[in-house]
Amino acid sequence: MFDYDGEMRFLQGRFRAACGVRAGDRVLDVGCGGGQTTREAAADAGRGRVVGVDVSERMLEDARRRTAEAHVSYLLADAATYDFGAAAFDVCISRFGVMFFDDPVGAFANLRRALRPGGRLVAMVWQARAENEWAQVIPATIGGDAEVRDESPFSLGDPDVVRGILGSAGFGDVTFAAVRERLYYGPDVETAYENVLQLREPLALLAELAPADAERARADLRAMLAAHDSGDGVLFDSAAWIVTAE
Ligand SMILES: C[S@@+](CC[C@H](N)C(=O)[O-])C[C@H]1O[C@@H](n2cnc3c(N)ncnc32)[C@H](O)[C@@H]1O
């Protein structure tokens, strides 16, 4: 499985600090994946109830396996539409889990209903693809059909768009903090190569290529990753927003 927590190692400190979870907070982690952020929220919330929600049972299995805290639970559901109950949470957090909604206004309105009045949303989302070295260099190295590229991770990259969505969903006090950090793909080229080949976009691009071109692309990918091997891991620049709203 892709080592998402490893990839996030230089970003997670900023995200956790921004979440500002306090003892007793009831926390909802949207698109919780393997649950690193859920567990850290649970540590900060003390005995406060923490729920991680995800549409992927495979991710939740991983999260459950890694979670010992009794006040954490995981829910297999679509956060866009699931009825969490009104005012059930004090804080809603998400690390790169809220960019994939088909109806973002409806989905964020659903999350707002789940928050108590004055509750907070803290979401880390990618800035535009053009700002993210990893998202430019990897597909450019593989080549292939640009139509196959997956733009959904960047759907909340434009602050004006996000302000519009969150405003329509009933949120106020929307702020953006820019996070420019290194993304870590692994300790060495081989691990980074295996990691990249688990990601949806590179796989989709490779699948479109003729066998000889795919072989060339894989060799180019290895060479490109070697060029990003800092000696302290394979690193790319990235740019994200930490969006907060009330
Ligand atoms: C990029 S991963 C991030 C995972 C996790 N937050 C982390 O940082 O390790 C995005 C996650 O959001 C989940 N997801 C996407 N749309 C969702 C939805 N509508 N409801 C719940 N989870 C969703 C995916 O299944 C995936 O696990």
pLDDT (tens digit per residue) in 24-51: 999 999 999 999 999 999 999 998 999 9
State mean pLDDT over 200-211: 94
CA dihedral sign, ordered 119, 122, 123, 128? positive
pLDDT score recorded for residue 203:
94
Q: Report the residue among 10, 19, 32 best suited for mutation to probe ligand 1: largest number of ligand atoms under 8 A from its CB.
A: 32
Q: How do residues 45-72 score in pLDDT, each as one tens digit?
A: 998 999 999 999 999 999 999 998 889 9
Q: What is the position in ligand 1's atom list of the atom closest to the CA of 59?
A: 27
Which of 59, 83, 132 best tests ligand 1's pocket when mutated (most atoms within 8 Å of CB)?
Answer: 59
Superfamily of domain 4-245: Vaccinia Virus protein VP39 (3.40.50.150)
Cα of 161 vs centre of ligand 1, distance in Å, is 20
pLDDT above 90 as % of the chain = 93
35 pocket-lining for ligand 1 (C-beta < 6 Å): no
Tens digits of residue pLDDT in 148-168: 889 999 999 999 999 999 999
